[in-house]
Structure 1
Amino acid sequence: MEHNGTDLLMVRQPIFDRDMKIVSYQLRYQFSELINDSLFDPETEGSMLVMQTFTSVFQDGEVRNVPVFLPFPSSMLKGGEVLLLPKKEIVVEIHADIPVTDLLVEHLKLLRKQGFRLALDGFSMQGHLIPLVKLMNIVKIDFSLMHRHRIEKLVGLLNRSGVAPLAQNVDDFETLLFCKKAGFKLFQGRFISRPTKVLGKTVPGNSAALLQLLQQLQRPNITPQEIEDLIIMDPKLSFKILRVVNSAAYQLSRPIDSMQQAVVYLGHNQLKKWATLITLAGNSDKPEAIAMNLLIRGRMCELLAESLDSALQDSAFMVGMVSQLDILLDVEMNEILRQVPLDDAIKSAISEQAGVLGKLLHDVVALEEANWSEIEKSSFDKAFLEVAYRHSLQWAEHAMQALAESD
Structure 2
Amino acid sequence: MNSFVARQPILDRSLRVFGYEILYRPTAVSEEALVSDGDSASLNVIQNIVLVIGCDRLTGGRKAFINFTRNLLLQDAAFYLPKELAVIEILEHVKVDPELMAACQRLKHAGYLIALDDFVLSRSEHHPIAQLADIVKVDFRLTTPEEHRAIVSRFGNGSRRFLAEKTETREEFQEALHAGYSLFQGYFFSKPTIIARKDIPVSKFNSLRMMRELHREDFPIEAIENVIRQDPSLVYKLLRYINSAFFGLRHKVTSIRHALALLGEKEVRKWATLTIYARVSKGQPEEVLRLSLLRAAFFESLAPYLNMAEEKPQLFLMGIFSLVDVLLGRPLEEALSEVPLSDDINHALLGGSNRYRPVFDLGTAYEKADWTRVFALCQKLSIHPRTVARLYLEAIEWTERIFLV
Both structures adopt the same fold (TM-score exceeding 0.5):
yes
AA aligned opposite 1:35:
A
1:15 aligns with 2:10: yes
**Residue ranges of structure 2 left out of the alignment (5+ in a row):** 27-34
Cα distance, 1:264 vs. partner?
Answer: 3.3
Aligned counterparts, 1:8-407, within 5 A: 8-31=3-26, 33=38, 35-41=41-47, 46-56=50-60, 65-127=61-123, 128-160=125-157, 162-282=159-279, 283-308=281-306, 309-352=308-351, 354-379=353-378, 380-402=383-405
CA 1:115 to 1:213, structure 2 compared with 1: closer, same or farther past 3 Å?
Answer: closer
* In structure 2, distance between residues paired with 1:200 and 1:272: 33
Q: Is the 8 A contact 2:24 2:45 kept in 1?
A: no
Q: Is the 8 A contact 1:139 1:166 kept in 2?
A: yes
Cα distance, 1:259 vs. partner?
Answer: 3.6
Judge which range, 318-327 or 47-56, deviates more. 47-56
Spell out, residue by residue over 1:81-131, the C-alpha distance to the aligned partner (whole angstroms, 9 max, x if none): 334443333121111122334433343334334443221101122323223
TM-align CA RMSD: 2.5
Q: Is the 8 A contact 1:158 1:165 kept in 2?
A: no
CA 1:238 to 1:114, structure 2 compared with 1: closer, same or farther past 3 Å?
Answer: closer
**Residue ranges of structure 1 left out of the alignment (5+ in a row):** 3-7, 57-64, 403-407
SS of the equivalent of 1:355 reads: coil
Q: Is the 8 A contact 1:158 1:164 kept in 2?
A: no
Spell out, residue by residue over 1:243-290, the C-alpha distance to the aligned partner (whole angstroms, 9 max, x if none): 433333433344444443344333332222222211222233222222
Spell out, residue by residue over 1:272-320, the C-alpha distance to the aligned partner (whole angstroms, 9 max, x if none): 2222211222233222222112111111111011332221111110000
* In structure 2, distance between residues paired with 1:172 and 1:97: 27
Spell out, residue by residue over 1:25-62, the C-alpha distance to the aligned partner (whole angstroms, 9 max, x if none): 21111247253434334xx6754523231232xxxxxx
Q: What residue number does 2:30 align with?
A: none
Between Structure 1 and Structure 2, how many residues are aligned? 387
TM-score (norm 2): 0.87
Cα distance, 1:161 vs. partner?
Answer: 7.4
Spell out, residue by residue over 1:221-249, the C-alpha distance to the aligned partner (whole angstroms, 9 max, x if none): 33333333444444543443344333334
TM-score (norm 1): 0.86
* In structure 2, distance between residues paired with 1:261 and 1:111: 53
CA 1:86 to 1:265, structure 2 compared with 1: closer, same or farther past 3 Å?
Answer: closer
Cα distance, 1:169 vs. partner?
Answer: 0.7
AA aligned opposite 2:263:
L
